[in-house]
């Protein structure tokens, strides 16, 4: 299979321009945006793992610390993501409860697990199912934008309730941790170079010698 790398072409990571690099003594730069050209993103796996580890660490406080603090004449209350989902479910808003659960719990965790799987498979040089792994990467890129649903809800509530003098709502430390998890996951996804998936698949298969008993059987 002919690829851009095997044809001597490089893709700019900034603007996407495909061009032919300069001879080795010269530094290869993009003719459109003047960015440095690389065959693959430098230190792609190292940066991906760094963002993933940080996101895994912050995932626990993001789901255990309060994301919203509300105070009124009747007292103060702190709500986590889980308590908000339970409140919506008990209140009868099942659709919103499922939506918040999927967007705030399932999607971030699924992105972390899928990116970890892709990074491990590339690091081990696996050539199995490159099309499936590429589709997984595209999938997490598509659904990643819905991970900030809780932060949007808290922001809207803060803006609406602050217009009244009866109650006050502020974001809690869990919202900061959750936002950091989403941002770190996005950075990990951007740092991962999906072309690394196909590098192992494009390598020629190694010749496998027949077993010794087959050699004796065929008189080799």
pLDDT score for 213: 42
- Range(s) of the domain holding residue 185: 43-204
pLDDT score for 48: 92
Q: In what order do the strands lie in the sheet with 168-171?
A: 75-79, 68-72, 168-171
Which range scores top for mean pLDDT: 10-24, 31-45, 114-128? Answer: 114-128
- Kindly state whether residues 24 and 78 are assigned to the same domain: no
pLDDT score for 74: 65
Q: Grade residue 4 by pLDDT with cuts at 50, 70 and 90.
A: low
pLDDT score for 53: 95
* pTM of the predicted model as reported, rounded to 2 decimal places: 0.72
> What's the token pair of residue 113?
């697990």
Which of 32, 191, 24, 26 has its CA nearest to residue 12?
A: 32
> CA-to-CA distance for 63 and 211, rounded, in angstroms?
54
| Strands (E) located in the chain | 10-11, 18-19, 68-72, 75-79, 168-171
Give exposure, 90-125, as e/b (b: 16+ Cβ within 10 Å): eeeeeeebeebbebbbebbbbbbebbbebbebbeee
- Could you give the number of structural domains in the chain? 2
Q: Grade residue 106 by pLDDT with cuts at 50, 70 and 90.
A: confident
Q: Are 22 and 28 in contact (CB under 8 A)?
A: yes
In a domain, 132, yes or no: yes
- List pLDDT tens digits, range 49-61: 999 999 999 998 9
pLDDT score for 49: 94
pLDDT score for 152: 67
> CA-to-CA distance for 55 and 59, rounded, in angstroms?
6
Number of neighbouring beta carbons within 10 Å of residue 84? 21
- Kindly state whether residues 84 and 193 are assigned to the same domain: yes
- Kindly state whether residues 26 and 52 are assigned to the same domain: no
- Kindly state whether residues 99 and 193 are assigned to the same domain: yes
- List pLDDT tens digits, range 67-91: 777 666 666 677 777 887 887 788 7
- Kindly state whether residues 60 and 105 are assigned to the same domain: yes
pLDDT score for 194: 84
> What's the token pair of residue 99?
């939506």
- Kindly state whether residues 93 and 74 are assigned to the same domain: yes
Which range scores top for mean pLDDT: 25-39, 93-107, 143-157? Answer: 93-107
| Strands (E) located in 110-209 | 168-171
- Kindly state whether residues 27 and 61 are assigned to the same domain: no
- Kindly state whether residues 53 and 29 are assigned to the same domain: no
Q: Which residue has the higher pLDDT, 135 or 100?
A: 135
Backbone angle region of 34, left / alpha / beta, with phi > 0 → left and psi within -120 to 50 → alpha: left
Q: What is the CATH number of the domain that holds 81?
A: 1.20.140
The neighbouring-strand residues paired with 171 are 68
> Would you list the DSSP string of 3-37?
-TTTTT-EE-TTT--EEPPPPTTSPPB-TTT-PBP
Tell whether the model's pLDDT for residue 204 goes beyond 60: no
In a domain, 209, yes or no: no
Number of neighbouring beta carbons within 10 Å of residue 21? 16
- List pLDDT tens digits, range 108-157: 888 899 999 999 998 888 888 888 888 988 888 777 666 666 566 656 55
Q: Report percent pLDDT > 90 for the chain.
A: 10
């Amino acid at each position: 299979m002919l690829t851009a790398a095997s044809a001597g072409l490089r893709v700019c990571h900034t603007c996407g321009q495909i061009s032919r690099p300069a001879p080795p003594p010269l530094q290869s730069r993009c003719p459109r945006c003047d960015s440095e050209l690389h065959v693959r993103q430098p230190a792609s796996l190292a940066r991906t793992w760094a963002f993933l580890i940080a996101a895994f660490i912050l995932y626990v406080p993001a789901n255990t610390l309060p994301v919203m603090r509300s105070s009124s004449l009747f007292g103060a209350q702190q709500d986590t993501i889980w308590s908000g989902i339970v409140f919506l479910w008990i209140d009868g808003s099942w659709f919103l409860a499922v939506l918040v659960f999927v967007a705030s719990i399932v999607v971030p965790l699924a992105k972390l697990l899928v990116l970890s799987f892709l990074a491990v498979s590339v690091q081990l040089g696996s050539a199995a199912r490159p099309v499936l792994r590429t589709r997984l990467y595209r999938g997490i890129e598509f659904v990643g934008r819905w991970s900030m649903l809780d932060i949007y809800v808290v922001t809207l509530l803060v803006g609406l309730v602050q217009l009244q003098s009866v109650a006050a709502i502020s974001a809690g430390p869990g919202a900061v941790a959750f936002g950091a998890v989403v941002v770190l996951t996005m950075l990990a996804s951007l740092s991962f170079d999906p072309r690394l998936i196909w590098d192992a698949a494009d390598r020629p298969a190694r010749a496998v010698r027949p077993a010794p008993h087959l050699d004796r059987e065929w008189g080799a």
